[in-house]
Amino acid sequence: MSLDVVTEPDLHNELVLDKEAAAALFLEARTANNWATGEIADETLQAVYALTRMGPTAMNIQPLRIAWVRSPEARERLAVHMNDGNRAKTLTAPMVAVLSYTTEWHELLPTTAPHMSKMVPSFESNPDVRKLMAVNNAHLQAGYFIMAARAAGLAAGPMTGFDAAGVDNEFNADSPSTSFMVVNLGRPSDVVDRARLPRLEFDAANVTL
Ligand SMILES: Cc1cc2nc3c(=O)[nH]c(=O)nc-3n(C[C@H](O)[C@H](O)[C@H](O)COP(=O)(O)O)c2cc1C
């Protein structure tokens, strides 16, 4: 296995993005454990959300909910629920986002999908379907979120190594939201702390029928 998409001669001929954008979003962007110093402005967070929300979800349900954890006090409350290997970087990242899904997305259907409003009672009585759709579509939105952060010039460090029940107790009490991912964010650092792991070749992960 190799990872030579960066130098793949024909790749850039197939893209509508310029090389710089393809590098920033996909080819050179790395999952981050270190960041340059400097605060992340509220305007940057709003830009990340403005891009994230445009990614498609089933029926446009948009179940992702984001808690931006900026203050040292809130950061400490989050860090105690992170796995040991994730705690230090969650304390030191310039910004941290707790991503949750809401199972009550159906209540907003009159706004998000007015043509589906008549379905609200049937979703109300079907919590299992609501949860499945919430989990699947919030994870899709988490992918958009990571790419949106990169598009806004940030490096993201997504993590699922944390005690979700503990985080929900701290940040989602009395809400229908459940945490599923924590993402550290900051301006990219020059520190490369590990080599890129291999990606699967086309033939290992694709079939053309
Ligand atoms: C859903 C998800 C959960 C992850 N959980 C953790 C984690 O708990 N701790 C950690 O150090 N890295 C975690 N990672 C980081 C991955 O190992 C990393 O994104 C992957 O190896 C690709 O690294 P690269 O972008 O530098 O190529 C997670 C990544 C994703 C997308």
Q: Which atom of ligand 1 is nearest to the CA of 83?
A: 8
Cα-based angle 21, 17, 96 (whole degrees, multiple of 5): 40
Residue 33 Cα, ligand 1 centroid: separation in angstroms? 10
Q: What is the pLDDT of residues 62-104, one digit of tens each?
A: 999 999 999 999 999 999 999 999 999 999 999 999 999 999 9
Q: Tell me the domain boundaries of the chain.
A: 1-26, 31-188
CA atoms within 13 A on the CB side of 79: 16
Of the chain, the percentage scoring pLDDT greater than 70 comes to 96
Q: What is the pLDDT of residues 8-49, one digit of tens each?
A: 668 999 999 999 999 999 999 999 999 999 999 999 999 999
Cα-based angle 172, 174, 178 (whole degrees, multiple of 5): 35
Q: Name the residue of 99, 159, 163 to mutate for ligand 1: max ligand atoms within 8 A of Cβ.
A: 159
Q: Output the six-digit token pair for 41.
A: 């402005």
In whole angstroms, give the CA distance from residue 15 to residue 33: 29
Residue 32 Cα, ligand 1 centroid: separation in angstroms? 9
Q: Name the residue of 5, 28, 31 to mutate for ligand 1: max ligand atoms within 8 A of Cβ.
A: 31
Residue 133 Cα, ligand 1 centroid: separation in angstroms? 24
pTM of the model: 0.96
Residue 88 Cα, ligand 1 centroid: separation in angstroms? 15
Q: Are strands 155-159 and 177-186 parallel, antiparallel or unpaired?
A: antiparallel
Residue 183 Cα, ligand 1 centroid: separation in angstroms? 10
Q: Does pLDDT of 159 surpass 50?
A: yes
Closest CA to 183 of 38, 69, 74: 69
pLDDT of residue 9: 63
Residue 57's CB is within 10 A of a number of other CB atoms, namely 21
pLDDT of residue 123: 98
Find the mean pLDDT for residues 108-132. 98
CA distances to 138, 150, 190, 209 from 187, rounded to whole Å, are 25, 9, 10, 42
**CATH classification code of 31-188:** 3.40.109.10
Of the chain, the percentage scoring pLDDT greater than 90 comes to 93
Q: Output the six-digit token pair for 69.
A: 């954890």
